[in-house]
Amino acid sequence: MSASVFFPLDKQQAVGVIGGGQLGRMLALAARRMGVRSVVWTGGLEAPAVEVADDVIDLPFDSPEALEQFCSLATVATVEFENIPLATLQGVEKCIGLFPSPSAVGICQNREREKNFLREHGIPCTWFRVIETLDDLRSAMAELNGPGVLKTAAFGYDGKGQLKLEGNEDPASAWEEFGKQRAVLEGWVPFEKEISVMVVRAADGEVKTYDPAENRHRKHILDVSIVPARISPETSAKARELAQQVAVALDYRGILGVEFFVNHDGSLVVNEMAPRPHNSGHHTLDACATSQFEQQLRVALGLPLGSTKLVSPCVMLNLLGDFWPAETQPPDWTNLMKTDGSVLHLYGKRRATGMRKMGHATLLGNDVDAILKDVECLKNGWLA
């Protein structure tokens, strides 16, 4: 379906967002800034986007009634996370424009399809084998002959659905522990850094990329993103080139996150793809000329792409649940507020549990190493 040309400040247009989490919230806020109505389909879960959306459909994603309501209220649609039934996405696409397409989301939501897509298009990725049975796992472990990660073929994120293997385990025990699920065994990459590139592609084929972000994780959850990434200009340019290659091969429409491992020699391997705004792109709200959320809406509404210029170096800090002294008691934000160049974003979630993403802070400055010192001081204070 080709994109219609819509314009901001036209109240007859409404962007539908499938999913009601923090990404949906930020999409709805971006729509409000642009003077466009938003319709959020929550899936029937506690949804931070509800507080800021113009219309809310609080029903499961497999509900025919919800699909009908959504398509009657929205004039165009997008997704805020990838783990949505393909049948639902296809049903939306039959009624209104959906960006990105079900086919693109379907590839990215399943590791098996994602890895095969990368290999088929000559895009560097980790060694992998598809695992359906114990015999498959036994054979793949023998071929790999070293450390790897066993990952569920579908519905895995933030470290969930993964089992690290050193290579000397008993395959039968590992298969039992993993739950005998269809999986992908990936070779372990002894990388130097992890980076990501946000790439946006319009319906007319125009493509733009943001500066690569250098990502650090804590307990498998993104901890901080450093922008620009501390990599060579050649590695940065190659990452942007590969991200564009992925977007073109997918015939993608919208914002896409492409995650890379950076090897010690500067070479790159694509790790994962996210067909939506991405946690490592949150800094674009404060540090770039156009945010990743506005870019997504621009594509959906048939508007020209915005500038991806980095206005200020920055560090994005995820505010995770373990910073909260109690489930409903937020941290003391005083020191953050006293830090020059700091911007606080909270997602409106009622309870802080475990490593739940409760918000993020962006700290702007001229020197990312100096900003990182401020970030570590803030984290130490909240975790003390």
Binding residues for ATP, by number, are: 111, 151, 156-162, 186-189, 194, 217, 271-272
Cross-strand pairs, 56:
40
Binding site: what residues are annotated? 111, 151, 156-162, 186-189, 194, 217, 271-272
Strand partners, 213: 196
Token pair for residue 48?
């931070």
Chain position carrying tokens 């190493």: 369
State the Cα–Cα distance between residues 298 and 315, nearest whole angstrom: 26
Which contacts of 128-132 are long-range, i.e. CB under 8 A and separated by 24 or more positions?
A: 128/184, 128/185, 128/186, 128/187, 129/184, 129/185, 130/182, 130/183, 130/184, 131/182, 131/183, 131/184, 131/185, 132/182
Q: Which of 273, 121, 106 is nearest to 197 (CA)?
A: 273
Beta pairing class for 55-57 and 37-41: parallel
First to last CA, the chain: 53
Length of the chain: 384
Please give the helix or strand (H or E) that residue 144 lies within, else none: helix 134-144
* Residue whose entry in the numeric block shows the structure tokens 């895995």: 156
Helix pair angle (64-73, 86-95), 10° resolution: 40
Amino acid at 114: E
For residues 181 and 203, what is the distance between their CA atoms, to the nearest angstrom?
Answer: 37
Q: State the Cα–Cα distance between residues 173 and 159, nearest whole angstrom.
A: 21
Cis peptide before 228 (omega within 30 of 0): yes
How do beta strands 221-227 and 148-152 pair? Answer: unpaired
Strands 268-274 and 254-262, how do they pair? antiparallel
